[in-house]
Amino acid sequence: MKTLLILTTLLSVAVTDIGAGFAQAAERYGNRPPVIVSPDLTAPWLMQLGAGPRAAPRTAPPTEQGRVDERRVLRQRAVGDQPRVVYRERSGIFAPRQQVIYQRPAVQRAAPLVRSAGMVAPQRPVRPIDPQFLPQTVAYETRERPGTIVIDTNSRFLYLVTGKGEARRYGVGVGKPGFEWAGAHKVTRKAEWPTWRPPSEMIAREAAKGHYLPASMEGGPANPLGARAMYLGSTLYRIHGTNAPWTIGYAVSSGCIRMRNEDVTDLYERVDVGTRVIVQ
């Protein structure tokens, strides 16, 4: 009987302790209102977190209406190319809302002080060609045989003698001061879209000015020799096209006779190797 009383007492105490333990656990771990942390206090370390690896998105527990309490939005723009992370306060929990990559503005590089003069097309000035330098048939009295080319460097005209007191006239660009010349030669070679190989004297002369010419340049629209070339005797002079047609009618070359590409192509089809050329 005494033993039964002791067991009943111990069982009653154990049930009481267990009930008290559940009560304390419910009180300690039960649902409580969310804790709202002031953004002013959390902002510094949140900013540091934003520059690190991106955290996985977290969602706040919904309210009774199933909506998230959105109070304010904090934005951080990272320096340079670091991502900018936008945080939103959701019932005391800060989670990434979206990630926007901030792109640094393009850096405009300064143009080099020295450029290869032969590899770039010259800048076109506002200077239309004078109509008198366009191809036309004119009266021309000469003792030269038909088919002869006569170049008047003073007036900047090239004449292709056709006979019967007429000639086909083209405008040309001629040698600049110090590069004038005169004489009679024959066309020894013709070339379409010729390769330009500036002589060593020209390379050295231009290098002294800070203009570095290529050893050679394949034919093309940017090539200074243009679409066609007719080589004169054994000299370095040629009648050729140009990539700067606005220079026609001026003394601008290093001695060659330059023409518009369409004009030198027309002349090229009208003359043969062996044609007499007179420069005066």
Please say if 211 is a catalytic residue. Answer: no
pLDDT at 128: 83
Q: What is the pLDDT of residues 54-102, one digit of tens each?
A: 444 455 555 555 444 444 444 444 444 444 444 444 444 444 444 444 4
Give the integer Cα–Cα distance in Å for 12 and 16.
6
Name residue, tokens 């879209």.
193
pTM of the model: 0.57
* 169, 240, 258, 260: the active-site residue: 240
- The sign of the dihedral angle between the CA atoms of 213, 217, 220, 226 is positive
**263-266 contact pairs (CB < 8 A, 24+):** 263/135, 263/170, 263/171, 264/226, 264/227, 264/228, 264/229, 264/239, 264/240, 265/227, 265/228, 265/241, 266/135, 266/170
Q: How many CB atoms lie within 10 A of CB 46?
A: 16
- C-alpha span between 249 and 259 (Å, rounded): 9
* Per-residue pLDDT tens digits for 222-279: 999 999 999 999 999 999 999 999 999 999 999 999 999 999 999 999 999 999 999 9
Strand ordering across the sheet containing 136-139: 136-139, 166-171, 157-163, 149-152, 276-279, 183-192, 228-232, 238-240, 257-258
Pick from 20-24, 141-145, 189-193: least confident = 20-24
What helix, strand, coil percent values describe the chain, rounded to 5?
25, 25, 50
Q: Residue 261's pLDDT is what?
A: 97
By CB atoms closer than 10 A (0-12, 13-18, 19+), residue 272 is: exposed
Sign of the four-CA dihedral 173, 179, 184, 190: negative
Tokens 């019967």 correspond to what residue? Answer: 164
Residue in this structure with the two tokens 């723009």, named with its chain if needed:
77
The pairing of strands 228-232 and 157-163 is: unpaired
List pLDDT tens digits, range 32-58: 555 554 445 444 444 444 444 444 445
163: left (phi over 0), alpha (psi -120 to 50) or beta: left
Over the stretch 159-180, which tens digit does the pLDDT of each residue have? 999 999 999 999 999 999 999 9
Respond yes or no: is residue 240 known to be catalytic.
yes
Over pLDDT 90: what percentage of the chain?
Answer: 52
Given the residues 172, 256, 257, 279, select the one marked as catalytic. Answer: 256
Strand 238-240 with 257-258, pairing: parallel
Query: What 3-state class would DSSP assign to 95?
Result: strand
User: Which are the contacts of 81, defined by CB distance < 8 A and separation ≥ 6?
Assistant: 101, 102, 103, 104
Question: Token pair for residue 15?
Answer: 């049930």
Kindly report, as residue ranges, where domains of CATH 2.40.440.10 are found in the chain. Answer: 131-279
CATH 2.40.440.10, domain 131-279, yes or no: yes
